[in-house]
Amino acid sequence: MPTLIEKTVLVNHKVQDLWGLLMDLRRADFKVRNVGSDVRGTYVHLEPDEEKDPSPIVEAWVGKAAPKPSAILKEVRTKELEKVKEQEKAREAERMDKERELEEARARGEAEAQADQPAAEAGKSPEENTHFLKKLFRKFF
């Protein structure tokens, strides 16, 4: 279920071509939900965890007239939307792969550390382990 919490940024310039702005923000890897405008300016509604500022991209769209609606424009924009969705899926898959690799590396490191710890301590007597702790405490305290 979608959340109702979002981060809204108001830019004090009005943009005519909101659809083009939305696509540019999505291409720039913003987690944008929607855009809108009124007499006060242009609103960019972002996911709550988005930290980038969309103002420079919004300001780049100020003064550009919206294209006249036509069947060709609709078809072009539909294809453009499909490309952007594919790019977003590819970026998300790449993020997931990196996250999975980090998690696997972390798990391997923890497993190796746990496997090495008992083996290293098994050959030492309790006095040697205590000696190590004394050296450690003397070093820091």
- Give the start-to-end residue ranges of the domains of the chain: 1-66, 67-125
The DSSP result for 4-67, as a single string, is S--EEEEESS--S-HHHHHHHHHHTT--EEEEEEETTEEEEEE-TT--S--HHHHHHTTTPPPP
Residue 18: predicted pLDDT? 93
pLDDT digits (tens, 9 = 90+) for 43-83: 999 999 899 999 999 999 998 888 898 999 999 999 999 99
Q: pLDDT class for 108, splitting at 50, 70, 90?
A: confident
pLDDT at 124 over 60: no
pTM of the model: 0.64
Question: Quick one: what percent of the chain has pLDDT higher than 70?
Answer: 82
